[in-house]
Structure 1
Amino acid sequence: MPAISGSGVPTPLTLIRRVAQGLLLLALMPTALADDRLYIYTENYPPYNASTTGQGFAHNAGDISGICTDMVKEMMKRVDYEYVMKMRDWSLAYDRVQGRGNHALFCTARTDEREGQFQWVGPLAPIKWTLFAAPDSDIELAALDDAKQYKIAGYKGDVMSDYLDGEGFDVIMSVSGEQNPRRLTLGQADLWVTDGLVGPLVAEEEHGITGLQPVLVFRETPMYLAVSNQTDPGIVEDLQRGLDEARKSGALDDIISRYQP
């Protein structure tokens, strides 16, 4: 029973307790409301993810397009969650998503090395691991090991770059891959590792470079939405259901056809 003064007015101690309880409820309410909000990150990696403003970053979903982006948006239409979508440098986004509940990242290559680092929703679209040479290059590769004699342009956090680096290749790492076509034409690198669709597109749109030579495609990997391990598995199941429904409806095939040359 609460302590009450003889006049029927709550004592100071009772008031303090009531205020404390009220503040606790207020503190808990935003958390409860935010539990279902998802924070989804991507990078500037056209045609899979691209900024519509011409910048290498974006603060909302309306400024981001691309094959994987449109697939994720179609998925989100079919689930009952609020979400925030942002575009950042890949290494920054990758680090930010890990360890935080309700955070996710796309398009993320699903590899054996990454399998336990995330919960996975997908597949979205596949990437082809390709080594490109400059337009006037005479490099020919019969197998991946033939590339060990060359300098390869890549970027930090990229699954293809990290793989080659781990296998002992001479990889020149940068924060992003946008300058790598120029490295080829300037002779700063002999080869550039990137996706087969991304390479020519970035080279032409960013630098006006055409005629890059795809000298070797050495692997193909499905890309996914990578969801942090701290996220409720029930949310991940809902997202997978939403993506499956989008695929079954034909929406994902329509997206791919829009971006095909």
Structure 2
Amino acid sequence: MDSTTLKLLKVAKAGLLSLILAGVATTAAAADKLYIFTEKYPPYNDSVSGQSFAHNENDITGICSDMVKAALARVDYDYVMKMRAWSYAYNWVQDRENHGLFCTARTEERENQFQWVGPLASIKWTLFAAPDSDISLNSLEDAKNLQIAGYKGDVMSDYLIDNGFNVIMGVSGDVNTRRLMLGQADLWVTDGLVGPLVAKAEHGITGLKPVLVFRETPMYLAFSTNTDPAIIADLQKALDEARDAGELEQIENRYSQ
């Protein structure tokens, strides 16, 4: 084999090695891309367009959304953020590597289903009645024989069903104010901030009656259990830093004005 052929072989091998290393780097980068989902749930998550779906982070706003973005801005991960129906997103994220979901209520029942980054904010589990309703509750048990509007995949609705309450389930929560007004449900279970906002924004209805707050839980960014724990640690550190810097408090104040 002459010297020219040897030189050509060396060049070819070097080129092949470069391609292999580039492929490894690309694979590693792709593995660190995050796919994050949320739902329309103002004031915590909302779309700029007002629609119940969005395809990128620039079209998504809200308390939790901005908190998650504040954490992501402090880490070097590429990510995609989308807004979808909660029941779809909740099922889609589980068992998919690098897939996350917010704002997810962290409960004992869900503890082992996800890896958790947070807390972000908290929700008050509230039963609302129509403005002209005379329903009065002293405890959750008082609602046992009433029809309660909820929606699929919602932690509050699932809790009530598991405890034997009569819950009318929908795909999303934005129709439940109308159910109250039409007499199709006696009560609506939702967050204390979300209920009045959705009622006014979607249907122009004001004066919903919060008849019972029966629980409060923190909300988190939840990732699938087969996501690398190092990613979870990076995101938790970033969120803690954003909180220490006062960014999360500023976000909450911005939406409370």
| TM > 0.5 fold call | yes
Counterpart secondary structure, 1:173: strand
Q: Which residue of 1 aligns with 2:10?
A: none
What number of residue pairs does the alignment pair up? 250
Q: Which residue of 2 aligns with 1:168?
A: 164
The reply on whether 1:76 has 2:83 as its aligned counterpart is no
What is the CA deviation profile of residues 6-32 of structure 1, one whole-angstrom value per residue up to 9, with x for unaligned ones?
xx79xxxxxxxxxx9999878755432
Q: Which residue of 1 aligns with 2:186?
A: 190
Trace 1:191-210 onto structure 2 (pairs within 5 A): 191-210=187-206
Equivalent residue for 1:98, pick from 89, 94, 104: 94
Q: Tell me the distance in 1 between the aligned counterparts of 2:234 and 2:50.
A: 33
The reply on whether 1:149 has 2:154 as its aligned counterpart is no
Pick closer, same or farther for the CA change 1:91–1:23 going to 2, 3 Å: farther
Superposition TM-score, scaled by structure 1 size: 0.90
5+ residue gaps, structure 2: 7-15
5+ residue gaps, structure 1: 10-19
Pick closer, same or farther for the CA change 1:102–1:203 going to 2, 3 Å: same
The reply on whether 1:232 has 2:232 as its aligned counterpart is no
Q: Tell me the distance in 1 between the aligned counterparts of 2:154 and 2:20.
A: 43
The reply on whether 1:42 has 2:16 as its aligned counterpart is no
Q: Which residue of 2 aligns with 1:55?
A: 51
The reply on whether 1:113 has 2:112 as its aligned counterpart is no
Q: Percent identity?
A: 69
4+ residue runs of structure 1 moved beyond 3 angstroms? Answer: 20-30
Counterpart secondary structure, 2:234: helix
Q: Which amino acid aligns with 1:150?
A: L
Counterpart secondary structure, 2:120: coil
Counterpart secondary structure, 2:135: coil
Counterpart secondary structure, 2:170: coil
RMSD between aligned alpha carbons?
Answer: 2.2
The reply on whether 1:243 has 2:239 as its aligned counterpart is yes
Bigger shift: 73-82 or 203-212? 73-82
Q: Tell me the distance in 1 between the aligned counterparts of 2:234 and 2:219.
A: 18
Q: Tell me the distance in 2 between the aligned counterparts of 1:176 and 1:91.
A: 8
Superposition TM-score, scaled by structure 2 size: 0.91
Q: CA deviation at 1:36?
A: 1.3
